[in-house]
Chains A and B, each alone.
Chain A
Amino acid sequence: MSNSEPMLAADGTPLKRSLARALRREKMRALMLIAPLLLFILLTFILPVADMLYRSVDNKIVSEILPRTVVALQDWDADSGELPDEAVFAAMAADLQQAAQEKTHTKVGVRLNYEQPGISSLFRKSGRKAKKWNVEEGGPWKEQLIEVHKGWGDPEVWRTIQTYSPRVTQGYYLNAVDMQVGTNGAEMRPENEQIYGILFWRTMKMSLIITLSCIALGYPVAWLLANLPARHANLLMILVLLPFWTSLLVRTSAWKIMLQQQGVINDVLVWIGFVADDSRLVMINNQFGTIVAMTHILLPFMILPMYSVMQTIPPSYLRAAKSLGATNWTAFWRVYFPQSIPGIGAGSILVFILAIGYYITPALVGGTTGTFISNRIAFHISSSLNWGLAAALGAILLAVVLILYWAYDKIVGIDNVKLG
């Protein structure tokens, strides 16, 4: 038998091929088994997220609804301070008429209005007239358009159309970091319009404070849960879980009643004479209120992972440390605490990431200084309908979370995180 002869399986095919086929079949079967889940995640999570992310740069609406104008405007010099020539106005007239017939003229008006106030009504009013125009023979369009609406005589309007002609735009991202496209490229917005930087920073800072408060309050509770006799521990566990099962809105409203100026806490403080009746503490509709309410709401997410990690730490280690001469504090700090870090890590990641995306509680108790970036995202999704800006803000938030996650992995190590 020579070496070049392949080994054959019982049915005569080369063994290698036969093995590969069997393995492939195994893999296919495994894939088939997870296929429903994979498909579900793809359809309900990955595709919508990708679609939303794409919206943050998508700008094809302008070139689709105003195709002729976009081409005609290409050679116009916006810095000349003069209006574009007749050809551009004629192209706009033709585009407007077609758009008005297809009822899309207001859509592009709304889009451009995000960049320059007033364009929305410019398109709405002009579209009404445009249906009656004779595009072939009418004109001159420059005079006629300006007569319909004086906005067409403003070079800034044409500049905005030209700037936002390309099919993709960085405009939403610039807006999301308080910048705008100025005459010399990107520039900061005027100070009285800067908001997102403040909100991103505040969201990060407050989420961190909330996470730290959760650690401070949750650690002793988790320790008790893990170390009390089962009878007491179970009761304590119910106390931890009970708020968890209560509606978020109920818990938030309860904090309102507790913290407001005519609320329970202030009433008690006044009654015992700690504060005067006319100088009641302001504890809600500010950052303090948000931190208190969110710490309470997110506390179970901190306690449960800590508890499940602490349960796995044998109590004999502490006893051993003490028997070797360690004080209570040394035994805890050098022996117990390091072993509980994976629980703190898991709880912190959970709480921090949940806190960053929270918007109901900050909206209800945050007032003006305690609201988060997510409140603005929700506003742009459901109220202003500026989904491009919402997507850009969401994408930045996602990027920040991923960077923090990466940093966490570098510093603490993600293998060090345990949920039990």
Chain B
Amino acid sequence: MTIAAHCLSLSKIYGDGDTRVTALDAVDVEITAQQFTAIMGPSGSGKTTLMHCLAGLDSVSSGQVWIGDTDLSQLSDKDLTRLRRDSVGFVFQAFNLVPTLTALENITLPMDIAGRKPDQEWLDTVITTVGLGDRLKHRPSELSGGQQQRVACARALASRPTIVFADEPTGNLDSKSGAEVLGFLRKSVDEFGQTIVMVTHDPNAASYADRVIFLADGHVVDEMFNPTSASVLERMKAFDSKRA
């Protein structure tokens, strides 16, 4: 099994003195390639921070992060930007799309910025899979929330990145649209061998993953393979009771 990304004793500390908050405390995580990994945890557990650090969006206070063979701590802002552009895909909870661009333009945006021609065959495959064939000329404001997230997913996959990070991709969607998006992410792992890391607090969303990493108070506290909604919910309840 190949490792798509990993971090070693990764710490992230915000603020100083009285306001000092340790968001991540010496975290070691390995993300297996061609797997769907979910990161779960209660609010404030550090799951979003972990994703941002893994994706090269945020700097780390100490420790190291690799995507593939690249050590992110060695990269300048320029190199990090290029890495995000060429090797990483993103799906955010909201504000995923540039409102002035059409759906298709949004999908090819990272490649357009790089000045690269998209692989047409692959692009068609992705578009067919997300089921947006007839809405490609539409602007985001003319798409439903679910459609917008599917466009975002297509964008994340279109450049064949090493790894795709999704931050609460279904957070703003109704359950039917959410299921469509999650189904698509699942499919991209199964059919295209894509590596996906998804941050979520929804046990149902996590049940689509191959593996769930549980975070609490900046530590990795547990992990679970082939989860179901019920098993994840059970595990989450344990956090709540421990807190109480």
Partners in one complex: no
Residues of chain B whose beta carbon lies under 8 Å from any beta carbon of chain A:
none
